[in-house]
């Protein structure tokens, strides 16, 4: 069973693998993560046991996938709830409630966002993204992801968030409407809509 101190060796290992995926195989990393979560996450352990899966697995393919409904109906976290720094939620558009993904730290998440962009060979921009700012949509993983990318690429994040009373918009969108200026046909635009 793995212990998770403040500066987790597991998190460090995962971040190193994200930065250099050729350095280790999935089969080296995932069984260790499964073992940790098995012992520190009671709902996950019960799910695994219901499928006859123990804490020790030889290959990552032996680890059961948690269904989407698990994130809606169970508190899936491997740390005390008091240590939660961020919770992202699904939109809830299926009418079955919100799924939730809890984080003790955002370091692995943000490393995966930045390195995923780089590993995919995506250009650094410029891009114009119209999406809610994380301050306006604090439970949106997409908004957080775009803001993370904006800090390391030439990504310009603007926002327009639908609220019960209508549309709100940030200064960037309001400024464009007040003083329109042409965009180069070489500037891709990404639009993001979130259900309310």
Q: What's the pLDDT tens digit per position in 144-164?
A: 988 888 777 766 655 544 444
Q: How many domains does the chain have?
A: 2
Do 14 and 101 lie in one domain? The reply is yes
- 95 phi and psi angles, rounded to 5 deg: 85, 5
Q: What's the pLDDT tens digit per position in 110-128?
A: 999 999 988 888 877 777 7
Which domain range does residue 86 map to?
9-108
Structure-block tokens of residue 105? 């730290």
- The region that residue 92 occupies, defined by phi over 0 for left and psi between -120 and 50 for alpha, beta otherwise, is left
Do 174 and 96 lie in one domain? The reply is no
- Structural Rg of the chain based on CA atoms: 20
Residue 118 lies in a domain: no
How many angstroms separate the CA atoms of 10 and 54, rounded? 20
Alpha helix locations (H) across the chain? 9-19, 26-40, 42-50, 68-73, 107-119, 141-150, 171-178
Residue 113 lies in a domain: no
Boundary of a domain, candidates 108, 140, 170: 108
Residue 103 lies in a domain: yes
User: Confidence band (pLDDT; 50, 70, 90) for 182?
Assistant: low
Report the pLDDT value the prediction gives residue 175, as an integer from 0 to 100: 57
Boundary of a domain, candidates 79, 108, 137: 108
Percent helix, percent strand, percent coil in the chain, to nearest 5? 40, 15, 45
Do 147 and 84 lie in one domain? The reply is no
Report the pLDDT value the prediction gives residue 178, as an integer from 0 to 100: 65
- pLDDT above 90 for 102: yes
For the segment 173-195, the average pLDDT, to the nearest whole number, is 54
Boundary of a domain, candidates 84, 108, 132: 108
């Amino acid at each position: 069973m793995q212990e998770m101190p403040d500066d987790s060796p597991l998190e460090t290992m995962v971040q190193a693998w994200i930065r250099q995926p050729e350095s280790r195989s999935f089969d080296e990393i995932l069984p260790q993560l499964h073992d940790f979560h098995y012992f520190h996450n009671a709902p996950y352990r019960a799910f695994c046991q219901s499928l006859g899966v123990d804490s020790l697995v030889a290959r990552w393919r032996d680890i059961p996938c948690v269904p989407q409904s698990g994130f809606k109906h169970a508190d899936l976290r491997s740390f005390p709830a008091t240590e939660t720094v961020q919770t992202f939620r699904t939109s809830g558009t299926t009418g079955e409630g919100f799924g939730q993904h809890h984080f003790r730290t955002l370091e692995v998440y943000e490393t995966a966002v930045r390195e995923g962009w780089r590993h995919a060979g995506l250009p650094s921009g410029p891009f114009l993204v119209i999406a809610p700012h994380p301050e306006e949509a604090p439970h949106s993983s997409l908004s957080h992801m775009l803001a993370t990318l904006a800090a390391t690429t030439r990504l310009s994040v603007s926002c327009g968030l639908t609220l019960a009373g209508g549309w709100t918009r940030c200064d960037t969108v309001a400024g464009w409407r007040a003083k329109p200026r042409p965009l180069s046909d070489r500037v891709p635009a990404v639009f993001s809509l979130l259900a309310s």
